[in-house]
């Protein structure tokens, strides 16, 4: 479905609508999406992104032992893209896990319907884990017997150390990096972009825009993908 205007213009219109109608931006974005024939802004963005983003191609770039980031502001389609990669991995006959501290199983199922994935058909290769116990230790225990090349997506980076009982974010990611390298697994983290990016007038987010409420060495990640306004940008130097 062809959009009436580029996504950045639609988003600008939503900001104006949010201000004029005194409604939250996400509500204005959904209203704009409805005028374009989509039920939500996230669906509009994800469908538009499909035109230029091939999840299977992204998956093919990842090598066993890698840690990667999929980062974006809210409602840009980062979770849908990550789920597309998980589904693509399972479709290819590989085991794939989706760990979410943000969504319920019903939420994940709804998003899978949006992208047209059928986890029942992929049963045994597509594993959804939305438990409250998700942390590095839980993930490593779950993937202890996972075959080489298994993809694990963690939703999302900034929630890993939300509990006081879990180790600091830096320690958990470093442990997962060692674990992935030793076992030949691929671990991708969905990541938030700091709200300040919205007012920075930047064309696209980058490593400096990743929201880090707690210290983290970004060089632990071999690559990052930044999704913004339906366009995916790849970044390989997360040092800056």
Q: What is the pLDDT of residue 49?
A: 62
Please check the confidence at residue 25 and state whether its pLDDT lies above 60. Answer: yes
Tell me which DSSP letter residue 228 carries.
Answer: E
DSSP-derived secondary structure for 124-179: TTEEEE--TT-SHHHHHHHTTTPPTT-EEEEE-GGGTT-STTSPPHHHHHHHHHHH
CA distance 200 to 204: 10
Q: Is 232 exposed, middle or buried (0-12, 13-18, 19+ CB in 10 A)?
A: buried
128 HSE (CA, 13 A, CB side): 21
What contacts 224, CB < 8 A, 6 or more positions away?
68, 69, 70, 71, 191, 207, 210, 218, 234, 235, 236, 238
CA distances from 158 to 28, 168, 181 (A): 26, 11, 22
Q: Could you give the CA distance from residue 223 to residue 228 in angstroms, rounded to a whole number?
A: 17
Check pLDDT > 90 for residue 21. yes
The average confidence (pLDDT) of the chain is: 90
What's the whole-number mean pLDDT along residues 182-192?
98
Q: How confident is the model at residue 240 (pLDDT cuts 50, 70, 90)?
A: low
Domain ranges (residues) in the chain: 7-39, 55-235
Label residue 230 exposed, middle or buried (CB < 10 Å: 0-12, 13-18, 19+): buried
In angstroms, rounded to a whole number, what is the distance separating the alpha carbons of residues 232 and 87?
A: 19
In this structure, are residues 42 and 75 in contact, taking their beta carbons and an 8 Å threshold? Answer: yes
- Chain centroid to Cα 111, Å, comes to 12
Predicted pLDDT at 155: 97
pLDDT at residue 113, rounded to an integer = 83
Give the least confident one: 117-131, 139-153, 178-192, 211-225.
117-131
Three-point CA angle 115, 84, 201, nearest 5°: 95
Whose tokens are 């939503």? That residue is: 14
Residue-wise pLDDT tens digits, 44-102: 877 766 555 788 889 999 999 999 999 999 988 899 999 999 999 998 999 999 999 99
How many other β-carbons are positioned within 10 Å of the β-carbon of residue 204? 16
At 20, list the tokens: 């004029």
The CATH classification of domain 55-235, taken from the options 3.40.50.300, 3.40.50.720, 3.40.50.1370, 3.40.50.150: 3.40.50.300
Could you give the CA distance from residue 187 to residue 228 in angstroms, rounded to a whole number? 22
pLDDT above 70 coverage of the chain, percent: 95
39 contacts: CB under 8 Å, gap ≥ 6: 33
Q: Select the more confidently predicted residue: 116 or 129.
A: 129
Answer yes or no: is pLDDT of 8 > 80. no
């Amino acid at each position: 479905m062809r959009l009436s205007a580029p996504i950045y213009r639609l988003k600008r219109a939503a900001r104006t609508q949010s201000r004029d109608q005194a409604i939250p931006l996400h509500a204005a974005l959904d209203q704009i999406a409805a005028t374009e024939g989509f039920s939500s802004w996230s669906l509009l963005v994800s469908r538009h992104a499909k035109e230029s983003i091939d999840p299977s191609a992204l998956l093919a770039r990842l090598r066993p032992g890698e840690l990667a980031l999929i980062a974006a502001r809210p409602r840009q389609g980062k979770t849908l893209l990550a789920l597309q990669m998980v589904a693509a991995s399972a479709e290819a006959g590989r085991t794939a896990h989706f760990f979410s501290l943000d969504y319920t199983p019903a939420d994940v199922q709804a998003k899978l319907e949006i992208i047209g994935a059928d986890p029942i058909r992929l049963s045994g290769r597509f594993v959804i884990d939305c438990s409250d116990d998700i942390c590095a230790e839980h993930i490593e225990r779950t993937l202890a017997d996972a075959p080489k090349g298994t993809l694990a997506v963690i939703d999302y980076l900034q929630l890993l150390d939300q509990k006081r009982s879990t180790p600091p974010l830096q320690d958990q990611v470093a442990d997962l990096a060692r674990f992935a390298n030793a076992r030949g697994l691929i671990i991708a983290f969905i990541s938030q972009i700091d709200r300040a990016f919205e007012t920075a007038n930047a064309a696209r987010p980058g490593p400096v825009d990743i929201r880090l409420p707690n210290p983290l060495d970004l060089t632990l990640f071999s690559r990052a993908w930044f999704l913004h306004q339906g366009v995916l940008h790849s970044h390989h130097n997360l040092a800056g």
